[in-house]
Amino acid sequence: MEEKILEGKSFKFGDDISTDLIAPGRYFHLRSNLGELAKHVLEDADPDFARKVKPGDFVAGGKNFGLGSSREHAPAIIKLAGVGAVLAKSFARIFFRNCINVGLPALICDTGSIEDGDRLEINLASGFIRNLDKGQEIRFNPLPKVMIKILSDGGLTEHIKKNKGFNL
């Protein structure tokens, strides 16, 4: 697992942020142009998000983040926008798996106390999030071992390339 500490500002979202809100269907034609699609990331949840987000920032959602379609473009453009990790009380299954596959840390934790704009420090290896503005510590659930393996190889593509198949 990566040792590095992530630090950034959080953007707070509510429950049930669907992949339609993250990567809207009306931009379907941009799916083979992720750079352009990323300009619309999370547009229907926060129209200004793509303009405001800085490399290393975090997305903090409520429950069932990423529900809906299997479009991997959703986590891919969140990562492309520079987001360091997505935090949520719970994730929809396919979205969670896609995050790991594209190498975007998805952390399950109690995001209730995190407010929009809070600066966070995340230690992926130790499982702790420090809210620098509030002085609080939040634990996140460790990922399943297979996912740690995929994530530490840099995503599923790299894992398969390196091992010439699954090595979980």
Partner 1 sequence: MGKTLAEKIISDHTGKEVAAKDIAVVDVDVVMAQDGTGPLAVSQMEKMGITKVKKPSSSILFIDHAAPSPRKELSDSHIVLRRFAQKTGARLSDTGEGICHQLLVEKYVCPGDIVIGADSHTCTSGALGAFATGMGSTDIAVGFALAQTWLMVPGTIRIDLDGGLARGVFSKDIMISVIGKITSDGATYKALEFSGNMIGNMAMDDRFTMANMAVEAGAKTGLFPSDEVTLKYLEAIGRKNCFKKMYADPDAGYEQVLDVDCSRLEPMVSKPHTVDNISPVSQLEKVKIDQVFIGTCTNGRLSDLAVAADILKGRKVAHGVRLIVVPASRDVYLQALDEGIIKDLALSGASVMAPGCGPCVGVHQGILGDGEVCLSTQNRNFKGRMGNPNSFIYLSSPATAAWSAVKGYIADPREVLV
Q: Which of residues 100-139 bind partner 1 (CB under 8 A)?
A: 101-102
For CA atoms 108, 109, 112, 113, the dihedral sign is negative
Nearest to partner 1 of 2, 44 (CB atom): 44
44: Cβ contacts below 8 Å, ≥ 6 apart: 20, 21, 24
Nearest to partner 1 of 28, 125 (CB atom): 28
Nearest to partner 1 of 73, 140 (CB atom): 73
Does 39 bind partner 1 (CB under 8 A)? Our answer is no
Does 2 bind partner 1 (CB under 8 A)? Our answer is no
Report the C-alpha gap between 48 and 40 in whole angstroms.
9
Report the C-alpha gap between 119 and 121 in whole angstroms.
7
In the sheet that holds 106-108, the strands lie side by side as 106-108, 85-88, 58-60, 5-12, 119-123, 128-131, 136-139
* Total site size for partner 1, rule CB under 8 A: 43
Out of 46, 84, 85, 97, the only residue in the binding site for partner 1 (CB under 8 A) is 97
> What is the binding site for partner 1 (CB under 8 A)?
16, 18, 20-21, 24-26, 28-33, 44, 63-64, 67-73, 75-76, 90, 92-94, 97-98, 101-102, 144, 146, 155-157, 160-161, 165-166, 168
